[in-house]
């Protein structure tokens, strides 16, 4: 027997062993991949059969995406309904974009379809998050139908409505502004602070990769450059600031007594530590 032919069975054994090590037989792995493909294509009949045959509805595919992620992204409403009915996790996050099915339904990578707002409705009815981020994305799109669906679902915080209103006004989305105002959205109210109070927060802060962010006081407000963009921060309370021109961007100050320890941006969980003497 030629050497190449003798080597082939050994390679197959390695591959088979890898499939078992990851908890799936080759047949089970094939079925799972078939579920992903059927969800992408919108083939509800195939999805139902695969689930009936025992494929886990919450099987994780590349980067932790699920069949519901794919159906939500592609706008396949029937498939999304079937998956949710079978127990799909509406808040499963992938490991690459940290996106949930709701994220994909609001910001589909494969293009927006008329079915997407109804998928958003379906997901929200089953407790999907992050609702506030979804509203901001729909306003920015702009997608009037999806904004309406999210507002109808209720449960939004006043600050989330205010952020969305700021974004709609900045983008001159008059119809969306009207919808938000009807839902009770009001502009953020500036918390008044004098220069002496703000000066406590001025200084240099060090973040990821030793990047530095310098805050200063100008015209009664904090200013600073973030990722090359100069922003002005408007106080919402004594330690929370919204960024003008960047709705949804929030700066928080962490104190220990009277000492400023760090600042952070909750949306990306990044902390910047104050550099003493600067």
Residues 124 and 147 in one domain: yes
Predicted confidence band of residue 270 (pLDDT cuts 50, 70, 90): confident
Residues 121 and 208 in one domain: no
Residues 204 and 95 in one domain: no
3-state secondary structure the chain: CCHHHHHHHHHHHHHHHHHHHCCCCHHHHHHHHHHHHHHHHCCHHHHHHHHHCCCCCCCCCHHHCCHHHHHHHHCCHHHHHHHHHCCCCCCCCCCCCCCCHHHHHHCCCCCCCCCHHHHHHHHHHCCCCCHHHHHHHHHHCCCHHHHHHHHHHCCCCHHHHHHHHHHHHHCCCHHHHHHHHHCCCCCCCCCCCCHHHHHCCCEEEECHHHCEEEEEEECCEEEEEECCEEEEEEEEECCEEEECCCCCCEEEEEEECCEEEEEEECCCCEEEEECCCC
pLDDT tens profile 95-136: 999 999 999 999 999 899 999 999 999 999 999 999 999 999
pLDDT tens profile 213-250: 999 999 899 999 876 778 899 999 999 999 887 888 89
Residues 72 and 156 in one domain: yes
Question: How many domains does one find in the chain?
Answer: 2
This prediction's pTM: 0.78
Confidence at residue 247, expressed as pLDDT on a 0 to 100 scale: 80
Range of the domain at 72: 12-182
Residues 169 and 208 in one domain: no
> In angstroms, what is the C-alpha Rg of the chain?
24
- Structural domain includes residue 244: yes
Residues 268 and 170 in one domain: no
CATH of the domain at 106: 1.25.40.20
Residues 200 and 130 in one domain: no
Cβ neighbours, 10 Å, residue 226: 18
Predicted confidence band of residue 3 (pLDDT cuts 50, 70, 90): very low
Residues 31 and 167 in one domain: yes
Dist CA 278 CA 177 (whole Å): 42
Of 148, 182, 216, the domain-final residue:
182
Residues 39 and 145 in one domain: yes
pLDDT tens profile 33-46: 999 999 999 999 99
- Structural domain includes residue 262: yes
Residue of 207, 152, 202, 203 lying closest to 180 (CA atoms): 152
Residue of 119, 63, 132 lying closest to 92 (CA atoms): 63
Of 159, 182, 205, the domain-final residue:
182
Check if the beta carbon of residue 226 is closer than 8 Å to that of residue 213.
yes
Confidence at residue 142, expressed as pLDDT on a 0 to 100 scale: 96
Dist CA 199 CA 29 (whole Å): 60
Residues 110 and 41 in one domain: yes
Residues 45 and 133 in one domain: yes
Confidence at residue 25, expressed as pLDDT on a 0 to 100 scale: 57
Of 152, 182, 212, the domain-final residue:
182
């Amino acid at each position: 027997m030629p050497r190449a032919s003798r080597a082939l069975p050994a390679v197959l054994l390695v591959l088979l062993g890898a499939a078992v090590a990851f908890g799936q037989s080759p047949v089970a792995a094939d079925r799972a991949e078939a579920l992903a493909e059927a969800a992408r294509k919108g083939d509800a009949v195939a999805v139902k059969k695969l689930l009936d045959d025992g494929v886990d509805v919450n099987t994780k595919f590349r980067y932790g995406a699920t069949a519901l992620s794919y159906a939500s992204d592609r706008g396949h409403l029937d498939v999304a309904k079937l998956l949710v009915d079978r127990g799909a996790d509406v808040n499963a996050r992938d490991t690459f974009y940290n996106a949930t099915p709701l994220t994909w339904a609001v910001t589909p990578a494969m293009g927006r379809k008329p079915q997407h707002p109804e998928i958003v409705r379906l997901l929200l009815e089953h407790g999907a998050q992050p609702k506030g981020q979804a509203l901001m994305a729909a306003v920015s799109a702009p997608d009037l139908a999806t904004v309406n669906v999210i507002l109808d679902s209720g449960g939004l915080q006043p600050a989330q409505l205010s952020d969305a209103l700021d974004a709609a006004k900045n983008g001159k989305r008059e119809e969306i502004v009207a919808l938000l105002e009807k839902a009770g959205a009001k502009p953020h109210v500036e918390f008044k602070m004098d220069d002496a109070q703000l000066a406590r927060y001025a200084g240099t802060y060090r973040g990821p990769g030793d990047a530095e962010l310098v805050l200063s006081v100008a015209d009664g407000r904090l200013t600073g450059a973030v990722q090359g963009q100069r922003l002005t921060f408007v106080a919402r309370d004594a330690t929370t600031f919204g960024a003008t021109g960047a709705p949804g961007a929030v700066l928080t100050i962490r104190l220990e007594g009277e000492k400023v320890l760090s600042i952070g941006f909750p949306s990306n969980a990044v902390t910047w530590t104050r550099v003493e003497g600067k």
